[in-house]
Amino acid sequence: MNIFEVLGYLAAILTTISFLPQVFKIYKTKETKSISLSMYIVLTIGILLWLIYGIHLKSLPMILANSITLISLIYILLMKVKYK
Amino acid sequence: MNIFEVLGYLAAILTTISFLPQVFKIYKTKETKSISLSMYIVLTIGILLWLIYGIHLKSLPMILANSITLISLIYILLMKVKYK
């Protein structure tokens, strides 16, 4: 594995786990006022399409990363609607 | 181009433009309280690494998508620090 492949995997890990702090913040504060609902609707649909594309490509990293991201996004989306 | 390739391009477009509504919301309200700083720090580093990986792969779609996303993320990050 060369340095760029390492960077690629690191990129995938970071962008996947990045939404967890937002999940925990909402869980703790029950507050979503400054979060954009449109952003999370568009992003959730986009990640769902990445997941479908990953399943089509039989790419385990894409399936794993996008599944975890999707779960975080759906939680943030539901909480945004709940605490609107 | 088959249906899955179309889905892949659509996924890339949606995940790239998804941050724009958050950019406009912050610009309008000057409010970032419920936004997670950690999320945007980790996500910005992750997207920067995707961009470097895309440059290495000479993939124009990856370079374009991640550059646009990076600009949105840096704006959100700076405003989060400013209106903290």
Per residue, what are the HEC states of chain A?
CCHHHHHHHHHHHHHHHCCHHHHHHHHHHCCCCCCCHHHHHHHHHHHHHHHHHHHHCCCHHHHHHHHHHHHHHHHHHHHHHHCC
Measured between beta carbons, the chain A residues lying within 8 angstroms of B77 are none
Measured between beta carbons, the chain B residues lying within 8 angstroms of A24 are 36
B3-82 topology per CATH: Monooxygenase (1.20.1280)
pLDDT at A72: 98
Q: Is the pLDDT of residue B84 over 80?
A: no
Q: Among positive and negative, which fits the CA dihedral A19, B52, B26, A39?
A: negative
Above 0.85 for ipTM, yes or no?
A: yes
pLDDT at B18: 98
Give the tens place of pLDDT for each residue, B29-42. Answer: 999 999 999 999 99
pLDDT at A14: 97
pLDDT at B48: 98
Residues of chain A with pLDDT under 70: none
Q: Is the pLDDT of residue B57 over 90?
A: yes
To the nearest whole angstrom, how far is the Cα of A27 from the nearest Cα of chain B? 11
Residue A65's contacts (CB-CB under 8 Å, 6 or more residues apart) are A12, A13, A15, A16, A54
Residue B59's contacts (CB-CB under 8 Å, 6 or more residues apart) are none
